[in-house]
Structure 1
């Protein structure tokens, strides 16, 4: 799998490149800011891009805006955003509305290189990855509408695991319950959030990110 890394910290950028290389991935390019990242992606068409949210020159949301542009221009390229912070601004909202091939992990949660490579593989395949702490913040923010207040405690647990991109089988193993029980919880979540069946795989993530549509 070909990967490009965009991170303004030289130490972190080089460290990630070395770790990913040792894990069997091919790092085809490194960028220190969003301006260098975009032409690099256009030229090399990697399977996935790792990008920091806050990059030069203002260190606000340049990386996140670049991630959105990459998803628009190169829908076949997965984007994994890394951040020290939980961001909930407009740029993230736009990405979350179309979460296919998009991931968001906090930097202190990716010390396990296996978790990072798994996340990269999943976004490269068009799946979605969300950090559990981000999911928790979304739950706290959403207080009205959308049916989240109607969910039971167990349904919220299932929804959090769904938002991480976990399958029903993985949720069954994580919670130690039967497969039919998980299927029932998933159906209840969709029903309470008024998410109708569709031809896409997005609604598992949209279930927890529904508030971003308002």
Structure 2
């Protein structure tokens, strides 16, 4: 699934996944207890073309590596492409004009999106201890900051029926707020076993609803 969490509405600061290169980071007062609020954004995976693409080239060079995978679809302008190899690197080999779209030239710097839409999405704070995943009881989630105080600790947030668009696609990003609360009398530690998990139903663009 090619959804990603970002720290900014411009979608230029992605949070890392699977490593600590760009974590959702906060510092707490463990002696007296404290909390940290942050607004985050959910959007489809994206990067940009590192060089212009002709209408016949099957090699796509991008500006940075993302979570695209082989045999997944990407979208440049309105042209769909199927990744044949090289996903996760700066150079991918693709099948052009996929799903009866038309191969055309694309300028350097054009956005490269995941070629899927997503709906029925939710976010959950997850904590892993001794290999066992469970809800994070430090975590509260809400669509708006004003409602964080009333959110249930450890409860997932459904964004499918709220005030935001029902489908996440190339031109739409969703936002939500997260609060992590450190209880008083918590020993000094690095808490590295917590992550935010995004779940959604993936729909190829060739099978859009509506």
- For the criterion TM > 0.5, the same-fold answer is no
User: Which structure shows the bigger proportion of residues in helix conformation?
Assistant: 1
User: Which structure shows the bigger proportion of residues in strand conformation?
Assistant: 2
For CA contacts below 8 A with separation 6 or more, give which structure has more relative contact order. 2
Instruction: Indicate the structure (1 or 2) with the bigger Cα radius of gyration.
Output: 2
TM-score bracket for this pair, using the shorter chain length: under 0.3
Q: TM-score, normalised by structure 1?
A: 0.24
Q: TM-score, normalised by structure 2?
A: 0.24
